[in-house]
Amino acid sequence: MSPDPNRPTRRRPRLIVAASGGIAATKTPSVLRRLREAGCEVRAAATDDAYAFVTRLSLAVAAGGEVLDRELWFRADGRVRHLEWGRWADGLVVAPATADALASAASGRAHDVVSALIAGGVPRVLWAPAMNPAMWEHPPVQANVRTLAALGHAFVGPVEGPLGGVEEGTGMGRMAEPEAIVAAALGLPFDRDLQGVRVLVSAGPTREYLDPVRFLSNPSSGRTGFAVAEAAHARGASVTLVTGPSGLPDPPGVEVVRVEDAASMGAALEAAFDACDLVVMTAAVGDWRAAERSDRKEPKTEGDLTVRLVRTPDLLAGLARRRRHQVLVGFAMETHEGVERAARKARDKGLAFIALNYPAREGVGFAAEANDITLVRADGSAQPWPRMSKRDLADRLLDEALPLLSRAADDVTDPA
Ligand code: CTP
């Protein structure tokens, strides 16, 4: 995509560099200094344990300002600094990152400044892990790394190096050198190109109850919609995520509305629709509900049971009827072919495009990390995309929608 000449020139990246408690914290001031030299605006943060290895003064001098530590965080002046700093920043660099810092972030804790900045929704995170090789290889540590990577967090290192303390030999666990950390930080995609855009995302399955304990549903995990919400937030959008039952945790910084059935999903989407600019409808909305829902759980009987089902409203079509400047993106699911049907859906529902996916293919689909989609437009043109992670898919879909957004807004402000 060629750069838009009307886009304002980007300001200097704003980065918080946080030290957690490891011997490599002696190098954190050097990371700060080099990032400043590279043209970034920087701030420093430190966990309590980091101060066993690096002083507050050396971090403050290297950053050229106050350090976000427990003392500043808990200062009784009415400020909520982990949120204020998170909004200021384009990204957070955790160097060094201990096993404990990774575990806190992966489990959604907010008990120290690093985990609180992340839980509060800082847009990008780069980890520079540093620990003993046995700890780095410990399966739960690796599981935490995978969890964070799936959320779009980036990693630099660790690298091979001599072991610390009394141990002899070398191993994988040494923090990457400051130059490598700076290069990785500058490579973060912290372009906030959706700043000021309001994105409404639907995700997950719906549940249509037959009685208080039995329902009709589908295996949607919500992963694609959660990834779209996270990616849009990271790019500066304000995001509302309306999701049916999903085991996924709330993405930091995103307004999440949890619903059960198609009717409550429809109500939540309608409530947010007028104020939004882009709708990405990934939810697997149930097409039918029971004509009569029993308030009591009826015990099973010997014979068969016939249930009459009636159609649920098409939520996306309903939103399309209320559309003013909004850009609408839909999803469709087919087990074969489907381009023509998807194009018809895009036309009928007034959508910018449809992401057509094939849940029956191996390695993709409901609960998988990756997806194969074909981008189908109302005019019938279809573009198959290579297999990619749901987070990459989310970013690509936002890239496709972005140029349409300004055009849709122009349609409203400038009818000529
Ligand atoms: N959708 C909706 N309300 C429904 C059903 C679907 O808003 N009651 C949305 C979906 O979230 C999706 C798009 O409409 O973004 C396309 O879904 P749908 O028309 O149901 O297509 P398929 O899932 O492909 O199903 P089918 O071919 O059976 O119609």
Whether residues 147 and 294 share a domain: the answer is no
- CATH number of the domain that residue 202 is part of: 3.40.50.10300
Are 221 and 88 in contact, with CB atoms under 8 Å apart? no
Q: Name the band, by pLDDT with cuts 50, 70 and 90, for residue 214.
A: very high
Among candidate residues 136, 116, 124, 128, the one with its CA nearest the CA of residue 92: 124
Q: Name the band, by pLDDT with cuts 50, 70 and 90, for residue 407.
A: low
pLDDT at 346 over 70: yes
Do the domain assignments include residue 325? yes
Q: Which helix (H) or strand (E) holds 348?
A: helix 339-349
The pair of three-digit structure tokens given for residue 160, joined into one six-digit string: 């091979």
Q: How far is Cα 341 from Cα 339, in angstroms, rounded to an integer?
A: 5
How would you label 23-47 residue by residue, b for 16+ Cβ within 10 Å and e otherwise?
bbbebbbbbbbbbbebebbbbbbbb
Mean pLDDT of 16-39: 94
Whether residues 202 and 177 share a domain: the answer is no
How far is the centre of ligand 1, averaged over its atoms, from the C-alpha of 235 (Å)? 27
Q: Determine the atom of ligand 1 nearest the C-alpha atom of 281.
A: 15
Whether residues 293 and 248 share a domain: the answer is yes
> Residue 138 belongs to what domain range?
14-186
Do the domain assignments include residue 380? yes
Give the mutation target among 316, 321, 347 for probing the ligand 1 site: most ligand atoms within 8 A of CB: 316
Whether residues 250 and 320 share a domain: the answer is yes
Do the domain assignments include residue 191? no
pLDDT at 158 over 80: yes
- CATH number of the domain that residue 137 is part of: 3.40.50.1950
Residue 2's pLDDT is 36
pLDDT at 253 over 60: yes
Whether residues 356 and 318 share a domain: the answer is yes
Q: What is the DSSP letter of 27?
A: G
Q: Determine the atom of ligand 1 nearest the C-alpha atom of 316.
A: 7
Separation in Å, CA 274 to CA 262, 277, 320, 325? 19, 8, 11, 9
pLDDT at 6 over 70: no
How far is the centre of ligand 1, averaged over its atoms, from the C-alpha of 294 (Å)? 26
Number of domains in the chain: 2
Residue 215's pLDDT is 97
Whether residues 203 and 155 share a domain: the answer is no
Q: Determine the atom of ligand 1 nearest the C-alpha atom of 315.
A: 7
pLDDT at 8 over 70: no
Give the Cβ contact number of residue 199 at 10 Å.
27
Domain end point (choices 154, 186, 218): 186
Q: Determine the atom of ligand 1 nearest the C-alpha atom of 317.
A: 7
Whether residues 177 and 205 share a domain: the answer is no
Residue 50's pLDDT is 98
Residues classed as catalytic: 218
Least confident of 53-62, 129-138, 335-344, 403-412: 403-412
Q: How far is Cα 190 from Cα 194, in angstroms, rounded to an integer?
A: 11
Least confident of 52-61, 90-99, 179-188, 366-375: 366-375
What φ, ψ does residue 26 adopt, rounded to 5°?
A: -65, -20
**Residue 11 CB-density burial (10 A; 0-12 exposed, 13-18 middle, 19+ buried):** exposed
Do the domain assignments include residue 261? yes
Residue 3's pLDDT is 36
How far is the centre of ligand 1, averaged over its atoms, from the C-alpha of 93 (Å)? 40
pLDDT at 368 over 60: yes
pLDDT at 260 over 90: yes
Whether residues 103 and 27 share a domain: the answer is yes
Whether residues 40 and 88 share a domain: the answer is yes
Residue 244's pLDDT is 98
Whether residues 314 and 394 share a domain: the answer is yes
Least confident of 177-186, 360-369, 386-395: 360-369
Mean pLDDT of 278-294: 96
Query: Of 36 and 94, which is predicted with more confidence?
Result: 94
Domain end point (choices 186, 208, 234): 186
Q: How far is Cα 342 from Cα 355, in angstroms, rounded to an integer?
A: 8
To the nearest 10°, the Cα dihedral for 130, 135, 136, 140? -130
- Nearest residue (by CA) to ligand 1, atom 21, is 332
Residue 372's pLDDT is 87
Domain end point (choices 186, 209, 236): 186
How far is the centre of ligand 1, averaged over its atoms, from the C-alpha of 283 (Å)? 8
Give residue ranges with CB within 6 A of ligand 1: 262, 281, 283, 285, 287, 312, 314-316, 330-334, 345
Mean pLDDT of 247-256: 86
Coil/strand/helix, residue 413:
helix
**Residue 73 CB-density burial (10 A; 0-12 exposed, 13-18 middle, 19+ buried):** middle
Q: How far is Cα 186 from Cα 14, in angstroms, rounded to an integer?
A: 10
The mean of the pLDDT values for the chain is: 90
Whether residues 170 and 290 share a domain: the answer is no
How far is the centre of ligand 1, averaged over its atoms, from the C-alpha of 317 (Å)? 9
How far is the centre of ligand 1, averaged over its atoms, from the C-alpha of 349 (Å)? 10
Query: Of 195 and 242, which is predicted with more confidence?
Result: 242
Whether residues 232 and 155 share a domain: the answer is no
pLDDT over 90 percentage in the chain: 73
pLDDT at 184 over 60: yes
Do the domain assignments include residue 365? yes
Give the mutation target among 228, 259, 285 for probing the ligand 1 site: most ligand atoms within 8 A of CB: 285
Do the domain assignments include residue 258? yes
Q: Determine the atom of ligand 1 nearest the C-alpha atom of 313.
A: 8
pLDDT at 408 over 70: no
DSSP annotation string for 168-235: -SEEEEEPPPHHHHHHHHHTS----TTTT-EEEEEESB--EESSSS-EE-----SHHHHHHHHHHHHT
Are 176 and 133 in contact, with CB atoms under 8 Å apart? no
Instruction: Give the contacts of 353 (CB within 8 A, at least 6 positions apart).
Output: 329, 330, 346, 375, 376, 377, 378, 400
pLDDT at 235 over 90: no
In DSSP terms, 288 is beta-bridged to: 311
Give the mutation target among 269, 287, 351 for probing the ligand 1 site: most ligand atoms within 8 A of CB: 287
Q: How far is Cα 281 from Cα 317, in angstroms, rounded to an integer?
A: 11
Count CA atoms closer than 13 A to 75's CA, side-chain side: 12
- Nearest residue (by CA) to ligand 1, atom 29, is 332
Q: Name the band, by pLDDT with cuts 50, 70 and 90, for residue 13.
A: confident
Give the mutation target among 331, 335, 340, 375 for probing the ligand 1 site: most ligand atoms within 8 A of CB: 331
How far is the centre of ligand 1, averaged over its atoms, from the C-alpha of 373 (Å)? 15
Q: Name the band, by pLDDT with cuts 50, 70 and 90, for residue 359.
A: confident
Residue 4's pLDDT is 40
In DSSP terms, 57 is beta-bridged to: none
pLDDT at 319 over 70: yes
Do the domain assignments include residue 353? yes
Q: What is the DSSP letter of 318?
A: H
pLDDT (tens digit per residue) in 188-198:
877 778 888 99
Q: Name the band, by pLDDT with cuts 50, 70 and 90, for residue 9.
A: very low
Do the domain assignments include residue 119? yes
Return the CA Rg of the chain. 24
